[in-house]
């Protein structure tokens, strides 16, 4: 008993920041191991974005006007930045459902009995979701190349810019998982978390420049789309990927999409991480 007590005291002591980092990585590892034991979670997460690629590419590809052309090849390269961005944001629903499931099963109560940083449970969960999102993006990029997506199709680019685009996508995905974490802590069941995580995502992703040229929208809707954080990341990726259909809008996020994406992502992380950790502490107090 004395040895166990001493171990707990040693674990609970130390630099708070380093302890929080270590605890977060331990929780992330736990969630990653869980994902490997339930491979259908990753499989089903891959099916939806692949279906979107195929449906939008082959069903709508010949009828969407980008610039002055309806060339399917142009639309394919215009579309993919939007599909990539949609994929990372839709991971929000899975993050919320996972946290709600842990709450529902009482797993969070078990974490409470351990000498660990309170925020580590949520941070570890979001880091594990980030790894899953990265794997999904990798598979999706391969599928995109198979259907005709080519970086540098309209404007010259390089491997550094392409990787920078994917890094921005992962940053946005990580930011949105904190919204999912807050939703998961605010509802009673995983089913409610999934529904709550998807309801607001559809208007965010579709009232944007992801699938159509926002310049063709009605004026008031175009302004909403141009200041939508989702539109900023799509515009930034198109710029970095050298894709066609870059917006000519004078709105600041459309003129400086990379900086706008970074600012939006940091603000979302700061605001929703603070709210989620506060909600977690009140829920487990």
pLDDT in tens, 250-266: 899 999 999 999 999 99
| Residue 115 belongs to a domain | yes
CA–CA distance, 46 with 38 (Å, rounded to integer)? 14
CA–CA distance, 230 with 140 (Å, rounded to integer)? 19
Determine contact, residues 69/54, Cβ cutoff 8 Å.
Answer: no
* Residue of higher predicted confidence among 106 and 132: 132
How large is the greatest C-alpha to C-alpha distance in the chain, in angstroms? 77
Any bridge partners for residue 66, and if so which? 69
Gap between the terminal Cα atoms of the chain: 27
| Residue 272 belongs to a domain | yes
Domain holding 86, by residue range, is 36-283
Domain count within the chain: 1
CA–CA distance, 86 with 203 (Å, rounded to integer)? 11
For the chain, percent helix, then strand, then coil, each to nearest 5?
A: 80, 0, 20
Residue 46 in this model has a pLDDT that exceeds 80: no
| Residue 31 belongs to a domain | no
Percentage of the chain lying above the pLDDT 70 cut: 90
Which string of b and e fits 132-153 if b means at least 16 CB within 10 Å? bbeebbeebbebbeebebebeb
**What single-letter DSSP state applies at residue 158?**
-
Per-residue model confidence as pLDDT tens digits over 158-217: 999 999 999 999 999 999 999 988 988 888 788 888 788 788 888 999 999 998 888 888
- Backbone phi, then psi, for 166, in 5-degree steps? -70, -35
| Predicted structure pTM score | 0.85
| Residue 19 belongs to a domain | no
Residues whose CB is less than 8 angstroms from the CB of residue 201 and which lie 6 or more positions away in sequence, other chains included: 89, 90, 92, 93
| Residue 209 belongs to a domain | yes
Per-residue pLDDT band at 280 (split at 50, 70, 90):
confident
Nearest to 263 by CA among 163, 160, 175, 137: 175
- Backbone phi, then psi, for 66, in 5-degree steps? -115, 115
Residue 84 in this model has a pLDDT that exceeds 80: yes
| Residue 30 belongs to a domain | no
| Residue 9 belongs to a domain | no
What is residue 66's three-state secondary structure? strand
CA–CA distance, 148 with 251 (Å, rounded to integer)? 31
- Backbone phi, then psi, for 106, in 5-degree steps? 85, 10
Helix axis angle, 120-147 relative to 257-283, nearest 10°?
140
| Residue 74 belongs to a domain | yes
């Amino acid at each position: 008993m004395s040895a166990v007590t001493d171990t707990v005291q040693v674990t609970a002591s130390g630099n708070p920041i380093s302890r929080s980092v270590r605890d977060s990585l331990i929780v992330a590892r736990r969630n990653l191991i869980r994902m490997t034991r339930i491979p259908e979670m990753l499989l089903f997460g891959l099916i939806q974005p692949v279906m979107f690629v195929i449906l939008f590419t082959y069903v709508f590809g010949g009828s969407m006007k980008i610039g002055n052309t309806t060339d399917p090849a142009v639309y394919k390269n215009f579309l993919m930045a939007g599909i990539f961005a949609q994929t990372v944001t839709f991971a929000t629903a899975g993050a919320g459902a996972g946290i709600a499931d842990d709450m529902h099963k009482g797993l969070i109560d078990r974490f409470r009995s351990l000498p660990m940083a309170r925020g580590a449970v949520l941070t570890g969960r979001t880091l594990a979701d980030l790894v899953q999102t990265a794997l999904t993006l990798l598979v999706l990029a391969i599928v995109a190349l198979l259907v005709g997506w080519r970086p540098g199709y309209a404007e010259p680019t390089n491997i550094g810019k392409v990787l920078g685009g994917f890094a921005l996508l992962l940053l946005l995905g990580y930011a949105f998982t904190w919204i999912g974490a807050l939703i998961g802590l605010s509802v009673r069941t995983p089913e409610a978390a999934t529904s709550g995580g998807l309801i607001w995502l559809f208007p965010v992703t579709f009232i944007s420049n992801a699938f159509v040229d926002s310049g063709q929208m009605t004026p008031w809707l175009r302004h909403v789309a141009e200041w939508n954080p989702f539109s900023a990341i799509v515009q930034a990726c198109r710029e970095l990927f050298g894709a066609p259909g870059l917006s000519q809008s004078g709105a600041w996020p459309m003129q400086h999409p990379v900086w706008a994406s970074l600012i939006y992502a940091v603000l979302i992380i700061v605001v929703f991480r603070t709210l989620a950790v506060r909600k977690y502490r009140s829920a487990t107090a």
